[in-house]
Amino acid sequence: MSALRKGLVSLPLILVVALGARIGFAWNEGRQLPPEVRATVPFFQETGNIARAVALGNGFSDLFRQGTGPTAWLTPVYPLLLAGIFRIFGIFTAASFTVAVALNIVFSAAACWPIFHAGRRIGGTGVGATAAWLWAIYPNAVITPFEWIWDTCLATFLASLVVWFTLKLAESQRPRDWCLYGLLWGGTLMTDPALAVVLPFLLGWAAYYASPVLRRRLALAGLAILTTALCCTPWTVRNYAAFHRFVPLRSNFPFALWLGHNPVWDPRSPWHTRVSAYEQDERYKRLGETAFMQEKWNSAIDFIETHPALELRLFASRSVSFWLGIDSPVKGFIETRSLLDRTLLVANFVATVGMLAGLVAIWMRLRRYAFFLSVFPLVFPWIYYATQPYVRYRQPIDPVLMLLTAIALRSPWRVRSQDSALLWS
């Protein structure tokens, strides 16, 4: 029994299982696709197009593969990483796809490491191991590395590091640690700017617990913010030089907002019965990125102002979709014939229930960490409630959902550990 317990809390074993689950899914899916499909279809999106332009020496540009000029549609880290893969293994090749998927798998599985240590710091080894096991076998996490050649897996790993480092930072007043935290946030924002919404809350929480002196708190937080800003400044300067306007991280929010707020949603609208990807691509090419985004912003704001009742219904629908995968999960579960789809619907439901139970548990028993952990499910989703609620956009905070679920599962036993001095206080 002792050996079994050691195995269940073994981080190397958890990492092996996480890697095995992701590799197994990727192998099973990949062998069903011919090489020419694997070499092209996964890259028919913005990341692949920008990476192609960089690999060809055309710079961070050509969002739709034609010469449309520079873009800030995405932040640079993942497209540049993919461009490096293209330079070594070929542009739009099966080999490049395999390498990109392999990196995604490594990033996704590696998130077990920081979430294990974060859970152990909060609630002991049992909580850390449970959270890591949940992430290792979580269906959404298993399929994403193969399904999306995007920044999702890297952003998830970085967000998990942020969780762990924030907990450690709350016990440190060393300026070096706060600078390193700023560097981590700089890399995170250059990968997935959506995570910026939780930065001030996490930084404020860490500073509050790091020092009882207000002036010291402000100095440490300022040091982290300055380091983060310095990491982002070169990209912001590049954007200003390219577009002659202030684009601190990426430019595509107006388009994302318009996708969720346009006449296609109004059944009374006499025009625009659908959103055509081809039409929008052509309009982008004709107007250029700056004018295109301004047009979408004006249109989205006008729609929001003129459809207040419809906006409430759409907001509710997007909220359900963000957490449960689709806006009618029961109907979808009954109607689908796909075992995978049903598995994902059940997994989303369980993760959401586990998250809610975990929130109750931490506010009852772990007050020190309650605000810190609540920020992710309560603050992060709002940008997607207002735009597009694809469940893959939730993945950067999914490890935190696994952590909250682990806390809910372990809470009845009030587990204690020598790894933390402030358990269940």
219-270 pLDDT per residue, tens:
999 999 999 999 999 999 999 999 999 999 999 999 999 988 888 876 665 5
Amino acid 410: pLDDT: 80
Let me know if residue 184 belongs to a domain.
Answer: yes
Let me know if residue 378 belongs to a domain.
Answer: yes
Q: How many whole angstroms separate alpha carbon 256 and alpha carbon 266? A: 17
**Residue whose token pair is 């369980």:** 350
Q: How many whole angstroms separate alpha carbon 37 and alpha carbon 29? A: 12
Amino acid 415: pLDDT: 43
In the chain, the number of structural domains is 1
Q: Which regions in the chain score pLDDT beneath 50?
A: 272-273, 413, 415-425
Amino acid 239: pLDDT: 96
Let me know if residue 419 belongs to a domain.
Answer: no
Let me know if residue 423 belongs to a domain.
Answer: no
Let me know if residue 193 belongs to a domain.
Answer: yes
For 162, residues 6+ apart whose C-beta sits below 8 A from its C-beta are 184, 185, 188, 195, 202
- Identify the domain containing residue 150 by its residue range: 2-413
Q: How many whole angstroms separate alpha carbon 54 and alpha carbon 278? A: 23
Amino acid 366: pLDDT: 83
Amino acid 286: pLDDT: 87
Let me know if residue 421 belongs to a domain.
Answer: no
For 357, residues 6+ apart whose C-beta sits below 8 A from its C-beta are 404, 405, 408
Let me know if residue 107 belongs to a domain.
Answer: yes
DSSP 386: S
Task: Write out pLDDT tens, residues 163-182.
Answer: 999 999 999 999 999 999 99
Chain Cα centroid distance, residue 125:
26
Residue 222 tokens, joined: 């300022």
Let me know if residue 337 belongs to a domain.
Answer: yes
